[in-house]
Amino acid sequence: MGKLDDDATAADKFRDAAGRLDTSDDIEEQLWQGRYSGKAMIGYWVGSGLLVLLVAVGAIGQMGIGQGLLVTVVVAVAVWGALFLLLTYRKLLNFYQLTNQRFIHKEGILRQVSDRIEVIDMDDVTYEQTIIDRMLSVGTIRIASSDRSHPLLYLRGIDDVHRIADLIDDVRRKERRKRGLHIETI
């Protein structure tokens, strides 16, 4: 491939240009992978701690120290056990992987569905955080894309959300520049 002479047909010129843009030999490399972060459940952890404390005060005040402590321990084990199961469920439910060419989203525990979104098809990457999320550096990333199966994809409970959202956006912009697609024209 190279420069064509002036006698080249339009088809020859197209083949030459397409050959220079051929990305089939690009090596796909993993840039990030992640799951739901337990820090995103801080409200649940604090709320359950307060609930156990209220139960302890109420039970000990009503039943005495012996039975009150027993009730408190039973409630604490039930509440914290349920939270642990919820955290485990959320961690196992979603798995995310970013490469320099694709974003892979796997969802499910017993039946897993794997969806791939080409980073070039991503239109916008934003993230949102509550004030507590900002203190813990956790949040939700929203990916808007032209992908039919997930035009809007929410990644909840992502640790270091600012860095990960920037990484996804940088990969998206780099791939669009590499393939000659200007962001404003899409």
Give yes or no for a contact between 48 and 54, defined as CB atoms under 8 angstroms apart.
no
Neighbours of 110 (CB within 10 A): 4
| pLDDT per residue as tens digits for the range 77-122 | 999 999 999 999 999 999 999 999 999 999 999 999 999 999 999 9
pLDDT > 90 in the chain, percent: 77
Using the predicted structure, report yes or no on whether residue 16 has a pLDDT greater than 70: no
Give yes or no for a contact between 117 and 103, defined as CB atoms under 8 angstroms apart.
yes
What is the amino acid identity at position 104? I
Segment holding 146, helix H or strand E? none
- Could you identify the residue written with the tokens 């919820």? 86
Largest CA distance in the chain: 100
- Of 31, 167, 183, residue with least CA distance to 121: 183
Average pLDDT of the chain, as a whole number = 89
What is the pLDDT averaged over residues 60-83?
95
Segment holding 70, helix H or strand E? helix 65-93
Using the predicted structure, report yes or no on whether residue 183 has a pLDDT greater than 60: no
- For 128, the 3-state DSSP assignment is strand
Distance between CA atoms of 186 and 184, rounded to whole angstroms?
6
Report pLDDT for 180: 78
Using the predicted structure, report yes or no on whether residue 21 has a pLDDT greater than 80: no
Distance between CA atoms of 19 and 23, rounded to whole angstroms?
9
| pLDDT per residue as tens digits for the range 129-167 | 999 999 999 999 999 999 888 899 999 999 999 999 999
